[in-house]
Structure 1
Amino acid sequence: MASGVRRLGTFLRQQLLDVLRLLDATPAPRGAERTAAHRLRAWCADRWPHVEWQVVEHGPAGGSLIATHGAGPLLYSHLDTSLDDGGAHNPLVTGNAAPVAPLAVDGDVVTGFGLGVARGPAAAALVAFAEAGAGRLLLAGSGTHRRAGGTTGLEAYADSYPLPRSAIVAKCGPPTLLWHEPGAFYLTVTVTGRSGAAMAAESATPPGGVVAQAGVVLEELARWRTDYLAADARTGQTGRACGIGAISGGWPDKPDLLPAQLRIDLYVVAGDRVEPTALASELADRLRARCAKSALRDCAVEVEAEPVAAAAATPADAPVVTAARAAWLDEFGAQPPPVTGWTGSTDGVVLRAHGVETVRLGPQAKPAADDPRRDALSLGQLTAYARVYRRLLTELPA
């Protein structure tokens, strides 16, 4: 590596660490990023005063950081994290209510909360934009999937600003270039019987309460999931996925009451064109048939679908894809490897729905060895992607 490139890498590395430390110091849960966005705007205005940094507010407390260097593509990432460090619901997912340790650096590895989603690539995007002197930047609020999540930062931006022809999504992902992303939706399964009292099991329908028969529903959902995945069309770069994310029923503060309703929430990914409502109807019929042969025979079964976004692809020969391939080859010394069955869905599908040709690329994060709530990233890798983002901002037309 030439000495000039090494010096540039060292310079970018330090700037990345500065941004990461700032992000780590300010919580940015989904829909409540406004404080973090304003703090980041003030810091950027002091660091790069030649750029006009702005905050676009949305919803009760949402906020996004935006900036423009004139014509050029949009470089997109988001401010919010999947979990809220210290949030009341986090232990339900992580099983750990202890405080999360702050950002740490050990040689080439940086470790911290929310680095994978999405502070690491967001920092790389911010530094790349500031150094490029071209293009547009959007670090959006409400960029993570959340049901009934209200207006997202990207939607608020698209309502107020014209979108360019092309965009680069800076997100962690596979070690390759993505121009095709799957869609996603939520399914809610409810099984409703009759409530009762724990001291009189026969008072409920079914006897003992509907939650006691959850295994019947879960077993059928497991069989359905196997069939759903087996029917994967493996369209382009993408595939299917499905998982149960939540199970609920009853009142924890009063478990002497047997609940009338069992609720199971699923997250479903489809790289091919799947109609969520039709899939929900098919699943409901299947669950009803299974429950009819069990103690749940007198219960009502419903399945509702809540779409997030449909699968979408950018043509593989689009200018943004061609430019990204060339930048990847120059940075990493080889063509981006092929990928199939990718199941991660981001706001890239939303940009494509607006007619914006979009690619996604970014570093690979992994859970920290000492605490899976924290992510570990290579600073060298993060710096390399910052160079790729910067190049695409300067080479692609608006």
Structure 2
Amino acid sequence: MASGVRRLGTLLSQRLPLSQQLSLRQQLLDVLHLLDATPAPRGQERTAAHRLRAWCAHRWPHVEWQVLEHGPAGGSLIAAHGAGPLLYSHLDTSLDDGGPQNQLVTGNAAPVGPLGVDGDVVAGFGLGVARGPATAALVAFAEAGAGRLLLAGSGTHRRSGGITGLEAYTDAYQLPRSAIVAKCGPPTLLWHEPGALYLTVRLTGRSGAAMMAQSATPPGGVVAGAGVLLDELARWRTAYLAADPREGQTGRACGIGAISGGWPDKPDLLPAELRIDLYVVAGDRVQPAVLAAELADRLRERCAKSVLRNCAVEVETEPVAAAAATPADAPVVTAARAAWLDEFGTQPPPITGWTGSTDGVVLRARGVDTVRLGPQAKPAVDDPRRDALSLGQLTAYARIYRRLLTELPV
């Protein structure tokens, strides 16, 4: 039996006192340990959702906890205390806990250690995205006795990821007028978030053999000519960021996340295609198709003046969501400002150029006034694959979430 399942079994078998007898900090730790015990990679959260539902039903039996299943193995935890705002976070993590594909990103194939607590600091896998704020949201909702909760599956961005937990929820339930997104982010309130899209650049030449470099187009193969494309993409990125109009709280960002071509187990063959994948953030409402066409023209012009002159260049786009804003004077923003002031003793600081996009843009696109706020995570000292959070900060945000659930108008 896996160690995570053993830890989960111990948690489920404990004779817990009433939740009212536990401190908020202890309740947060209990949920964090529970989430740490069960992997929940994107699109495969169903087991974790059902185990979390069973645990919550034991801890808070006055709440009707449910699992909303979606896709082949996806699942979301949902609950409602009647009408009220929606408190949203998600169950899935960007990476799976110790999966073999993680090494392509982290460079480390060793198992990730379990959750650890050292004074005010809690460190573990997936705390930043998004187990830390999801835990604060869960405990806040259970104690508030008002509003709705959605800890969604498939809340992280993924290409061709199928139906998300939020989409399944909106298909099954009517959305309220306002929502609070519990996600890690800057130390302030966000009521405006950027949109995002993926770009795929394909360079196609002719395949060949490594022992006969001239057999490929270009000679030596398209991978050998990758520097031409990468250099032009760097120039395009600089121009794209420089054109940022800095609308509201948001900004632009762009990065190359993957490069692929050929067979790693047979490098004596020179591939005909090179693929470069980019993630693009836009605080303003860019047109993805127009952006892709402009980039393709630019790359073709550059290739025509290089060894890649006889290669074809195509750029494909996959939109994730468009930038969206809630009015700064909307009730949910006003209430969040007041709760922030009472909790931290100061107004939330202004922010510009924010480049993190969440399902808040999806909610706003559906007419839901949405505010985002949550703790600040950083890489753990012992292992950058783990995140570190302040328990005191997490407790403060749980108090804010609980207050917003009880005070926002229906």
With the length of structure 2 as denominator, give the TM-score of the two structures: 0.95
Distance 1:269 1:381 in 2: 28
- Tell me what 1:113 maps to: 125
Question: In structure 2, do the counterparts of structure 1 residues 144 and 374 end up closer, same or farther at CA, with 3 Å as the change threshold?
Answer: same
- Tell me what 1:385 maps to: 397
Give the AA of the match of 1:273: R
- Tell me what 1:27 maps to: 39
SS of the residue 1:210 aligns to: coil
- Tell me what 2:356 maps to: 344
Distance 1:233 1:142 in 2: 31
1:200 aligns with 2:212: yes
On the 8 A contact 1:166/1:358 being kept in 2, the answer is: yes
1:95 to 88, 107, 110: 107
Distance 1:264 1:321 in 2: 39
With the length of structure 1 as denominator, give the TM-score of the two structures: 0.97
Distance 2:348 2:173 in 1: 32
Distance 2:279 2:21 in 1: 39
SS of the residue 1:55 aligns to: strand
1:216 to 228, 246, 261: 228
On the 8 A contact 1:283/1:303 being kept in 2, the answer is: yes
Distance 2:252 2:205 in 1: 32
1:70 to 66, 73, 82: 82
Distance 1:304 1:46 in 2: 49
SS of the residue 1:242 aligns to: strand
Q: What do residues 363-388 of structure 1 show as CA deviations (whole Å, max 9, x unaligned)?
A: 00000111110000000000000000
Q: 1:68-217 counterparts in 2 under 5 A?
A: 68-217=80-229
On the 8 A contact 1:71/1:397 being kept in 2, the answer is: no
| Deviant stretches of 4+, over 3 Å | none
Q: What do residues 8-51 of structure 1 show as CA deviations (whole Å, max 9, x unaligned)?
A: 99811000000000000000000000000000000000000000
Q: CA deviation at 1:222?
A: 0.2
- Tell me what 1:365 maps to: 377
Distance 1:370 1:289 in 2: 47
SS of the residue 1:89 aligns to: helix
1:59 aligns with 2:66: no
1:321 aligns with 2:355: no
Q: What do residues 140-175 of structure 1 show as CA deviations (whole Å, max 9, x unaligned)?
A: 000000010000000000000010000000000000
Give the AA of the match of 2:142: A
On the 8 A contact 1:9/1:383 being kept in 2, the answer is: no
SS of the residue 1:184 aligns to: strand
Distance 1:42 1:251 in 2: 45
Distance 1:151 1:83 in 2: 18
CA-based RMSD of the aligned residues comes to 0.9
Q: Which runs of 5+ in 2 are unaligned?
A: 1-19
Paired residues, number: 391
Give the AA of the match of 2:292: A
Q: CA deviation at 1:298?
A: 0.1
On the 8 A contact 1:75/1:125 being kept in 2, the answer is: yes
Distance 2:97 2:27 in 1: 24
Q: CA deviation at 1:225?
A: 0.2
Distance 1:340 1:234 in 2: 7
1:13 to 25, 29, 39: 25
Give the AA of the match of 1:383: T
Distance 2:365 2:244 in 1: 22
SS of the residue 1:289 aligns to: helix
On the 8 A contact 1:74/1:166 being kept in 2, the answer is: yes
1:374 aligns with 2:386: yes
On the 8 A contact 1:241/1:270 being kept in 2, the answer is: yes
Q: CA deviation at 1:109?
A: 0.1
SS of the residue 2:203 aligns to: strand
Percent of pairs with identical residues: 88
SS of the residue 1:130 aligns to: helix
1:251 aligns with 2:263: yes
SS of the residue 2:103 aligns to: helix
Give the AA of the match of 2:117: V
Distance 1:354 1:9 in 2: 39
SS of the residue 2:223 aligns to: helix
SS of the residue 2:130 aligns to: helix
- Tell me what 2:17 maps to: none
Q: CA deviation at 1:86?
A: 1.8
Q: What do residues 189-237 of structure 1 show as CA deviations (whole Å, max 9, x unaligned)?
A: 0000000000100000000000001000000000000000000000000
Q: CA deviation at 1:88?
A: 2.2
SS of the residue 1:211 aligns to: coil
Q: What do residues 166-191 of structure 1 show as CA deviations (whole Å, max 9, x unaligned)?
A: 00000000000000000000000000
Distance 1:37 1:264 in 2: 35
Distance 1:129 1:397 in 2: 16
Give the AA of the match of 1:301: V
Distance 1:85 1:268 in 2: 26
Q: Which runs of 5+ in 1 are unaligned?
A: 1-7
Give the AA of the match of 1:45: A
Give the AA of the match of 1:296: L
SS of the residue 2:334 aligns to: helix
